[in-house]
C-alpha cells in the first residue's frame, strides 16, 4: 500500500518527493460519458491528479434524497467518478464542503437547509438574513453532520491510507470570504453569545458586568463612538477563533466518519493583484496554525508582467511564513481560466505564472478551473459555466492548453533534482499580520483601514517587494510577532512600519539590531500598540527627539540619494542624532536616516512611495546597497531571474515578461554565467536552465543555454531534447563521449564546451574497447 506524507517542505509518495499537479474538474457539470475523455486531457497535460468540488446541494437536493452513486442522475455518480480516476492512475484532491462557492446557489448549501432552519442563517449588522450560515449554529452543524456521514461513506474507503487514490481532503471553502466581500458581521444570537463569552474572557475589565448579546447587537448594528472601534476590532480577533472552532468541528466530524488523509484549508483574499490576499491569511491564521493542517492558496492574477510579478512573489512568501512549516507551498486554486475565446488574454500567462511559483518553491498546484461545463438548475439558474478554461464544454481545446504539457515535460525531465532544490534568497521582508486584520469595517474604523490599505499597497508591495524583485534581490518573509529574529539567519530585514506595533515586536526589532541585524524601516514610526495604548520603544531606542508631519494622504516632494523633487506621501520628519541622513523634506528636515544600535544598524525612511520609475527604483537600490544587500545577479538586459539550489545541481529560472525577445549576458557574484555566452529568451517565454547539474554519475552539466524538454536513456546512450534548438553547453564527462553531431571544444581535463543547432544533446557511453 503506498504511503503519502509531508515533511521538509515537500509531499512524499513512498518516500519519493512528489510534485503534485492537479487540474480541477467538475464532474457534475459534464456528462458522465465524457468523464474519461476529460481525465485523459489531464494526463496528457502531464498532471498526476484531479481535484473536484463535491456539491452538497447536487447530491442531496432534498433532505430525504441522497445520491452519491448516480441512481437518480448519472452525473451524481461520485463513487463511479472516483473509481474512474483511480483506474486511470490519477490521484484525487476531494473538496466536499459543506461550502464550495463555485458559482452555485447558496455557495453550495441546499436551499432546504435554510428553509428548515431559518434560525441558523447569518444575520448581518443591518438586520438582513444572508444566504450563508452562522457556521457554528447547532442546527446548521446538525445538517452538515448528516452530509459528512453520507459523503465520507464514499470518500473514506478510497483514501490512499486504505489503498485508494485520495491524497488530500479540503474541508469547507474560503472560510470567511463572504464576510469580507460583503463587509458583514454576524448578529445571529448564537454568534453574539459566543462573542460575549469571548469578550468576558479576554477583556474582563472593559465591561465589568459582562456584555450581553443584546448590547452587542445594538452596538454592532448602530455603532456609537464610545464602543464602535473597540468592538469591531475585538470582533475581528474573535472571529479568528470562531473560524478555528468551525474547522475543529468539521475535522472532528470528518474523522468520525473515517477521514485519515491530511486536511486542507484554502485561503481566499486575492484581489487587486494579490495586495488584499493577506487579509485572508489574517482571517484564517488560527486555522492555519492547527497542528496537522495544510494551507493552500487561491490565486487569480489575470495577467503577469514586470508590473505585478512582485505581488505574486510576496503573496507566496507571506504564505510560506505562516503555513505549516513541514508542508510545501501549495495553491489549490491556481488560475487556469480567464482566457475566453477572442478575449485578448495572455496564453503565456499560465506558463509564466507556473514557472514563477515553482521557482518560489511551490510543489503542489491545482490548476483551477480546467474545464468548462453546464449547470443543472439545481446548481445555478445560469446554465453556462464558461470562464475561459483550457478545455471548452464540448471537449475542444483552447490555445493555452498546449502550455501545460510543454512545461510538464521540462519539470518531469529535471525530476527529483528540481523538486528538492530550494529557492536562493538574499534578504527578508518582515510583516505584521495584524496590519491586515481589516476585513470588516464600520464608519468609525474605515479611516484607519484606508490608511493601512494605502501603506500596505504602496510601501510593502510596491516599494519594498517591487524594488527588491526588480533589482534582483530575491527575498523570503517572516511574520514579526511569530518568528524569531536571528541576525545569523536573517542578516537584513525590511519592514513596513505604521503607527501601531505591539511592544513585544518593537523590543524584538531592537534586540535584533543590537545583536548585529540590519533593519530597514519604511513608513510612519510606531506610536502605540494594536490595543491603542501608547508604545514608543523603537522611537526611544533610536533617540528620536521630535517627530513632525506624516499626515495621511498629503503629497509632498522629498530629496533622496541625490534625486530631487521625488513625489511621496505620509512624509514624516525627525529630529535627533543620526549617523547619516539620506533623505530630506521641506526645509531640509530629515525624513531618512541611518543610526547604529549595538552591533547593528537601523535605516529609517519616513515616506510612502512606490518604485514606479527608475529614480524611485534607484532609491531602494541605494538603500539596499547602503545596508549591504547586494543583487544576486547582474545582467546586460532585464529579465526576472531566480535560482533554485539543490544537492545534485542548481536551476536558473529566467522569465521574459516583455513583448519582445531579449538577448543578455548574465553574471552572479561577478562571475560570468554560461561562459559569457549570450542568452536568448523569446518574448513572453521562460527558461529553466541547469547549472552544475549531476545528471548521473559521469555526467555533469555545468551550464546549458536551453531547457531540457525530454530526458531519455538507453543502454548505451543518453538523449536530452532541448528548447530552443540552438544551444551551448559546458560538460564534464567520465565514461561518456559526445555524439559526432555536436561541435566540441575541450576546455579542460574531461571538460567540454559543446554546441548544436538541432536541439539534441546526445551522449554515448564508452565501451572500453578503444
Q: Among 316-325, 342-351, 740-749, which stretch is predicted with the lowest mean pLDDT?
A: 740-749
Average pLDDT for 448-468: 99
pLDDT tens digits, one per residue of 413-444: 999 999 999 999 999 999 999 999 999 999 99
Ramachandran angles phi, psi of 491, nearest 5°: -65, -35
Task: Give pLDDT, residue 474.
Answer: 99
Residue 495 has, within 13 A of its CA and on its CB side, a CA count of 37
Q: What is the pLDDT of residue 208?
A: 75
Query: How far apart (Å, rounded) are the C-alpha atoms in residues 171 and 92?
Result: 14
- For the segment 543-561, the average pLDDT, to the nearest whole number, is 98
Give per-residue pLDDT as tens, 15-41. 999 999 999 999 999 999 999 999 999
Q: For residues 749 and 229, which has the higher predicted lDDT (pLDDT)? A: 229
Average pLDDT over residues 118-126: 99
How far from chain centre, in Å, is Cα 546? Answer: 40
pLDDT value at 769 more than 70: no
- Which residues is 166 bridged to in the sheet? 92, 159
Beta bridge mates, 92:
50, 166
Q: How confident is the model at residue 768 (pLDDT cuts 50, 70, 90)?
A: low
Given a cut of 50, is residue 770 above it in pLDDT? no
Residue 632 has pLDDT above 80, yes or no: yes
Residue 655 and residue 407 in contact, taking contact as beta carbons nearer than 8 Å: no
Cβ atoms of 389 and 410 within 8 Å: the answer is: no
Which domains does the chain show, CATH number per domain? Answer: 4-185+237-420 (3.20.20.80), 427-626 (3.40.50.880), 643-765 (2.102.20.10)
pTM for the whole structure: 0.98
Residues in the chain: 770
Res 602 pLDDT > 90: yes
Are the beta carbons of 688 and 711 closer than 8 angstroms?
no
Q: Which residues contact 588 (CB under 8 A, 6 or more apart)?
A: none
Whether the Cβ atoms of residue 650 and residue 643 lie closer than 8 Å to each other: yes
Q: How many other C-beta atoms are found inside a 10 Å radius of the C-beta of residue 508?
A: 17
Q: 433-447, 484-498, 745-759: which range is least confident on average?
A: 745-759
Distance CA 695, CA 347 (A): 32
Q: Which residue has the higher pLDDT, 465 or 748?
A: 465
Q: Is 759 left (phi over 0), alpha (psi -120 to 50) or beta?
A: left
What is the rounded CA–CA span in Å between residue 26 and residue 512?
A: 50
Q: What was the pLDDT predicted at 344?
A: 85
Verify cis geometry, omega within 30 degrees of 0, for the bond prior to 28.
Answer: no
Closest CA to 688 of 726, 652, 721: 652
CA distance 207 to 2: 56
Give Rg (Cα) of the chain: 28
Amino acid at each position: 500500500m503506498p504511503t503519502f506524507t509531508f515533511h521538509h517542505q515537500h509531499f512524499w509518495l513512498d518516500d519519493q518527493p512528489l510534485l503534485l499537479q492537479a487540474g480541477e474538474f467538475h464532474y457534475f457539470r459534464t456528462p458522465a460519458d465524457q468523464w474519461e475523455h476529460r481525465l485523459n486531457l489531464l494526463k496528457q497535460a502531464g498532471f498526476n491528479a484531479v481535484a473536484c468540488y463535491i456539491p452538497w446541494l447536487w447530491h442531496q437536493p432534498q433532505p430525504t434524497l441522497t445520491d452519491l452513486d448516480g441512481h437518480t442522475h448519472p452525473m451524481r455518480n461520485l463513487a463511479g467518478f472516483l473509481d474512474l480516476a483511480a483506474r486511470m492512475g490519477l490521484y484525487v484532491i476531494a473538496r466536499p464542503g459543506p461550502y464550495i462557492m463555485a458559482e452555485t446557489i447558496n455557495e453550495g448549501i441546499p436551499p432546504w437547509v435554510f428553509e428548515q432552519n431559518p434560525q441558523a442563517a447569518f444575520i448581518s449588522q443591518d438586520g438582513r438574513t444572508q444566504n450563508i450560515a452562522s457556521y457554528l449554529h447547532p442546527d446548521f452543524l446538525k445538517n452538515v453532520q448528516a452530509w459528512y456521514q453520507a459523503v465520507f461513506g464514499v470518500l473514506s474507503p478510497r483514501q490512499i491510507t486504505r489503498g485508494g487514490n485520495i491524497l488530500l481532503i479540503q474541508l469547507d471553502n474560503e472560510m470567511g470570504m463572504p464576510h469580507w466581500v460583503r463587509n458583514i458581521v454576524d448578529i445571529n444570537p448564537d454568534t453574539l453569545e459566543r462573542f460575549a463569552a469571548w469578550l468576558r474572557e479576554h477583556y474582563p475589565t472593559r465591561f465589568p458586568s459582562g456584555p450581553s448579546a443584546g448590547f452587542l447587537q445594538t452596538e454592532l448594528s448602530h455603532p456609537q463612538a464610545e464602543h464602535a472601534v473597540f468592538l469591531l476590532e475585538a470582533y475581528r480577533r474573535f472571529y479568528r477563533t470562531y473560524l478555528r472552532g468551525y474547522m475543529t468541528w468539521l475535522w472532528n466530524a470528518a474523522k468520525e466518519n473515517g477521514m485519515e488523509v491530511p486536511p486542507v484549508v484554502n485561503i481566499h483574499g486575492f484581489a487587486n493583484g494579490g495586495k488584499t490576499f493577506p487579509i485572508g491569511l489574517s482571517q484564517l491564521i488560527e486555522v492555519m496554525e492547527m497542528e496537522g493542517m495544510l494551507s493552500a492558496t487561491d490565486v487569480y492574477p489575470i495577467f503577469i508582467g514586470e508590473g505585478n510579478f512582485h505581488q505574486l512573489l510576496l503573496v507566496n512568501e507571506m504564505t510560506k511564513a505562516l503555513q505549516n512549516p513541514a508542508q510545501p507551498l501549495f495553491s489549490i486554486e491556481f488560475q487556469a481560466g480567464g482566457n475566453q475565446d477572442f478575449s485578448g488574454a495572455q496564453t503565456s500567462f499560465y506558463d509564466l505564472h507556473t514557472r514563477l511559483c515553482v521557482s518560489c518553491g511551490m510543489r503542489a498546484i491545482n490548476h483551477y478551473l480546467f474545464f468548462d461545463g453546464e449547470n443543472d438548475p439545481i446548481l445555478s439558474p445560469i446554465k453556462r459555466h464558461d470562464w475561459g478554461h483550457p478545455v471548452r464544454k464540448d471537449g475542444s481545446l483552447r490555445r493555452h492548453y498546449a502550455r501545460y504539457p510543454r512545461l510538464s515535460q521540462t519539470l518531469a525531465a529535471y525530476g527529483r533534482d528540481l523538486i528538492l532544490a530550494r529557492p536562493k534568497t538574499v534578504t527578508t521582508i518582515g510583516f505584521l499580520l495584524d496590519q491586515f486584520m481589516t476585513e470588516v469595517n464600520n464608519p468609525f474604523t474605515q479611516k484607519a483601514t484606508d490608511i493601512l490599505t494605502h501603506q500596505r499597497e504602496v510601501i510593502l508591495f510596491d516599494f519594498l517587494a517591487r524594488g527588491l524583485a526588480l533589482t534582483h534581490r530575491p527575498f523570503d518573509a517572516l511574520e514579526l510577532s511569530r518568528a524569531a529574529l536571528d541576525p545569523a539567519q536573517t542578516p537584513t530585514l525590511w519592514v513596513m512600519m505604521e503607527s501601531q506595533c505591539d511592544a513585544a515586536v518593537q523590543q524584538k526589532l531592537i534586540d535584533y539590531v543590537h545583536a548585529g541585524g540590519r533593519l530597514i524601516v519604511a513608513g510612519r514610526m510606531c506610536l502605540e500598540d494594536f490595543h491603542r495604548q501608547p508604545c514608543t520603544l523603537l522611537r526611544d531606542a533610536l533617540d528620536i527627539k521630535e517627530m513632525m508631519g506624516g499626515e495621511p494622504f498629503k503629497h509632498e516632494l522629498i530629496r533622496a540619494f541625490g534625486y530631487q523633487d521625488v513625489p511621496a506621501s505620509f512624509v514624516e520628519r525627525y529630529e535627533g542624532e543620526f549617523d547619516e541622513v539620506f533623505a530630506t523634506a521641506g526645509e531640509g528636515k530629515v525624513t531618512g536616516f541611518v543610526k547604529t544600535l549595538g552591533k547593528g544598524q537601523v535605516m529609517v525612511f519616513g515616506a510612502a512611495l512606490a518604485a514606479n520609475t527608475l529614480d524611485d527604483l534607484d532609491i531602494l537600490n541605494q538603500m539596499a546597497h547602503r545596508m549591504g544587500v547586494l543583487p544576486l545577479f547582474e545582467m546586460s538586459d532585464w529579465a526576472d531571474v531566480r535560482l533554485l539550489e539543490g544537492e545534485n545541481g542548481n536551476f536558473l529560472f529566467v522569465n521574459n515578461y516583455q513583448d519582445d525577445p531579449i538577448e543578455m549576458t548574465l553574471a552572479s557574484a561577478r562571475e560570468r554565467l554560461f561562459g559569457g555566452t549570450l542568452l536568448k529568451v523569446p518574448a513572453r517565454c521562460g527558461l529553466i536552465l541547469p547549472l552544475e547539474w549531476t545528471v548521473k554519475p559521469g555526467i555533469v552539466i555545468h551550464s546549458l543555454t536551453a531547457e531540457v524538454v525530454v530526458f531519455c536513456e538507453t543502454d548505451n546512450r543518453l538523449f536530452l531534447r532541448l528548447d530552443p534548438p540552438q544551444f551551448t553547453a559546458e560538460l564534464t564527462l567520465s565514461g561518456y563521449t559526445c555524439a559526432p553531431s555536436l561541435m566540441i571544444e575541450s576546455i579542460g581535463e574531461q571538460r567540454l564546451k559543446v554546441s548544436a543547432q538541432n536541439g539534441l544533446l546526445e551522449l554515448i557511453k564508452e565501451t572500453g574497447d578503444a
